[in-house]
Amino acid sequence: MQNLQTMTYEKTGRIARITLNRPERGNGITMDLPRELAACVERANLDPDVHVIALSGNGSGFCGGYDLVDSAQNMTVENQQAQQLRGSPLDPLVQMANHVPNTAWDPTVDYAMMSRNVKGFMSLFHSDKPVVCKVHGFCVAGGTDMALCSDLLVIADDAKIGYPPARVWGSPTTAIWAYRLGIEKAKRLLFTGDCLSGKEAQQWGLAIESAPIEQLDERFESLLARIAQMPINQLIMMKLLLNQTVMAQGLHSTQILGTVFDGITRHTKEGYAFQQRAAEVGFKQAVRERDEPFGDFGMSTFKG
């Protein structure tokens, strides 16, 4: 726990605080992040003094999704082919961003990688102790996996939350949207890739509270303090009881499908075209071009 690369961990009283800490990269998800997240959650669960876990992000926003900007725009099809011919190992995120069309794609390898990330995100859901997430700025694409796997969400009124990669090159691997929103509202978002404001997220039932940014910390801390007063055994039993409702509805099976579909979306003709465009003009510009017809102007600068 002394060598965390993507987040920080500290304890204040009865609260364990996990803070995403790569603000210069929008707290983008790396292969290290889900593993470190699971380790921090386990540390909190094993600490008899911790009653509740607080999850938040440093910088201008909570999380912009998978950090594939460098790999997508620095690895052209040609130099990836050359690297493959030399037998050089590729980072899993580089492989995900730059799979070469017309070469063999092994969906089981893809699934093995992404399902391990899902396990890291789901450590929040399966945590013995409640997890309350605070979102400010943006929470898009893969960042929503962490927010929605948390038990409660407190969000700034002007924050944006959603899954723009539903438009091309992504499927939500934790597949938890319908369980949080209901099937109709989830379809409304995933059929368009649209985002909600923090106010809308609270009105739709996705967030338990929204607040002006200047009041967000106060509202977040107030909720944490109330939960922290509860006995740990009561918290654990309440969470187990309520989580079983969702598990009985088939969440695990749905996540297998969502994770497999995520790999497929990156290997459709539209997915390949998006990758090629990112290699040509840079990932941010490719995302901007994807999102501009929807009026979003490339809000998500990281893949989800």
All residues at 6 or more sequence positions from 263 whose CB lies less than 8 Å from its CB, including other chains: 105, 107, 110, 111, 114
Q: pLDDT higher for 83 or 91?
A: 91
pLDDT digits (tens, 9 = 90+) for 31-57: 999 999 999 999 999 999 999 999 999
The SS3 assignment for 211 reads: strand
pLDDT digits (tens, 9 = 90+) for 184-211: 999 999 999 999 999 999 999 999 999 9
What domains does the chain contain, in order, with CATH numbers? Answer: 7-294 (3.90.226.10)
Single out the residue of 284, 173, 155 nearest to residue 219, CA to CA. Answer: 155
Please compute the mean of the pLDDT values over residues 112-125 and round it to a whole number.
97
What pLDDT score does 91 carry?
Answer: 61
What pLDDT score does 92 carry?
Answer: 66
| Rg of the chain in Å (alpha carbons) | 19
Would the pLDDT of 293 be above 90?
yes
- Pairwise CA distance, residues 69 & 228, whole Å: 39
231 backbone dihedrals φ, ψ, rounded to 5°: -65, 145
Single out the residue of 125, 197, 103, 215 nearest to residue 158, CA to CA. Answer: 197
Sign, Cα dihedral of 251, 168, 90, 260: positive
- Pairwise CA distance, residues 39 & 30, whole Å: 15
User: Considering the chain, what percentage of its residues have pLDDT values greater than 90?
Assistant: 82
